[in-house]
C-alpha cells in the first residue's frame, strides 16, 4: 500500500537514500530541506511521486507550513523520517552557548515538533510510522562532540517516550543510530580532524573507518535499509537500531 511519507534533510546523504528507498517501495515522498535546488535534484531521481517542500526545520512556523503543504497535496503524513541533523566538533569547555543551542534545536527540538505535528493524524488513522535518524552517540559519550552527543541522547529518550505513548494505537516510533556514514556531514568531520591533527584527508577518513569493527564507513543505503525495517514492521517500537558495523553492541 502506498503511504504518504515525509523525509527531512532529504537533499543529500542519508535523507536522499531514505527517500529513494521509500519511493522504490511505491510510496509518495515529500522532500524537506532548506535547499530547493538539492531537493529538486533528488526529486528527479525518485521513481515515484515526489513533492519538494523547502523549509528550515528549526523554524516552527516553516515546519508547520511544510506539513500543511503535504496535507494539502496528498493528505496527512503517514511515514515521518526525521533525518535533518548536524554536529559541531569542539571540546566541551570550548563549546559556546550558540553551538549548544544549535545542536539542541536541530537534533532534538525539530524532531519533537515533527512528532507533535504528525502523531495526531497517525493515531486517528490507527496507523503510522515515525523514524528518527539519531546516532550511536545517542548511546555512548564521545570526545569533542558533547553538544551533539547530548542532543542525540535526548532524541533517543524522546523516541522511547513517544513509542510508549502510542504503542496501542497502531503507530510505531523508532530511532536508527548510525555510526560514521559516508556522507557530506562526515566529510566535514574528516576535514576538521585533518585541520586539528595535521593528517591528510585520507588518513583522517581512515581514523573514522577504523572506529567501526567492519573497518569502513557505513553507506547511506545501509541506513535506509534499517529505516525500511522500521516502516515495514508493526512490532518494532521504541528501539534505537544501531547501524555501525558492531561498534556499539546492544
| Neighbouring residues of 97: CB distance < 8 A, sequence distance ≥ 6 | none
Where are the chain's structural domains? 4-179+219-243, 180-217
How far separated are the first and last CA of the chain, in Å rounded? 32
**Which pairs count as long-range contacts for 203-206, CB under 8 Å and 24+ apart, including other chains?**
none
Q: Decide: pTM greater than 0.85.
A: yes
Please state, in angstroms and as integers, the Cα–Cα distance from residue 114 to each residue in 6, 162, 174, following that order: 10, 12, 14
CB 191 within 8 A of CB 203: no
Query: Tens-of-pLDDT digits for all 250 residues of the chain?
Result: 999 999 999 999 999 999 999 999 999 999 999 999 999 999 999 999 999 999 999 999 999 999 999 999 999 999 999 999 998 889 999 999 999 999 999 999 999 999 999 999 999 999 999 999 999 999 999 999 999 999 999 999 999 999 999 999 999 999 999 999 998 888 888 787 778 888 888 888 898 889 889 999 999 999 999 999 999 999 999 999 999 999 999 8
CA atoms within 13 A of residue 158's CA, in its CB half-sphere: 25
Q: What are phi and psi of 169, to 5 degrees?
A: -100, -5
Third-level CATH fold of 4-179+219-243 = Rossmann fold (3.40.50)
Enumerate the active-site residues.
Answer: 148
Amino acid at each position: 500500500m502506498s503511504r504518504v511519507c515525509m523525509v527531512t534533510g532529504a537533499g543529500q546523504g542519508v535523507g536522499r537514500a531514505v527517500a529513494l528507498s521509500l519511493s522504490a517501495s511505491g510510496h509518495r515522498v515529500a522532500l524537506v530541506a532548506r535547499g530547493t535546488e538539492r531537493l529538486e535534484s533528488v526529486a528527479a531521481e525518485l521513481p515515484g511521486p515526489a513533492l519538494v517542500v523547502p523549509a528550515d526545520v528549526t523554524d516552527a512556523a516553516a515546519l508547520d507550513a511544510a506539513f500543511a503543504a503535504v496535507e494539502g497535496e496528498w493528505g496527512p503524513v503517514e511515514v515521518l523520517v526525521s533525518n535533518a541533523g548536524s554536529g559541531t566538533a569542539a571540546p566541551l569547555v570550548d563549546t559556546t552557548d550558540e553551538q549548544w543551542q544549535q545542536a539542541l534545536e536541530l537534533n532534538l527540538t525539530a524532531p519533537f515538533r515533527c512528532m507533535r505535528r504528525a502523531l495526531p493524524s497517525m493515531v486517528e488513522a490507527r496507523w503510522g510510522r515515525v523514524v528518527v535518524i539519531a546516532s550511536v552517540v545517542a548511546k555512548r559519550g564521545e570526545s569533542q562532540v558533547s553538544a551533539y552527543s547530548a542532543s542525540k541522547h535526548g532524541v533517543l529518550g524522546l523516541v522511547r517516550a513517544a513509542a510508549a505513548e502510542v504503542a496501542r494505537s497502531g503507530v510505531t516510533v523508532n530511532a536508527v543510530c548510525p555510526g560514521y556514514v559516508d556522507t557530506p556531514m562526515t566529510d566535514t568531520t574528516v576535514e576538521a580532524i585533518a585541520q586539528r591533527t595535521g593528517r591528510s584527508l585520507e588518513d583522517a577518513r581512515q581514523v573514522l573507518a577504523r572506529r567501526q569493527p567492519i573497518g569502513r564507513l557505513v553507506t547511506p543505503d545501509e541506513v535506509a535499509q534499517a529505516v525500511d525495517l522500521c516502516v515495514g514492521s508493526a512490532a518494532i517500537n521504541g528501539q534505537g537500531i544501531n547501524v555501525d558495523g558492531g561498534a556499539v553492541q546492544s
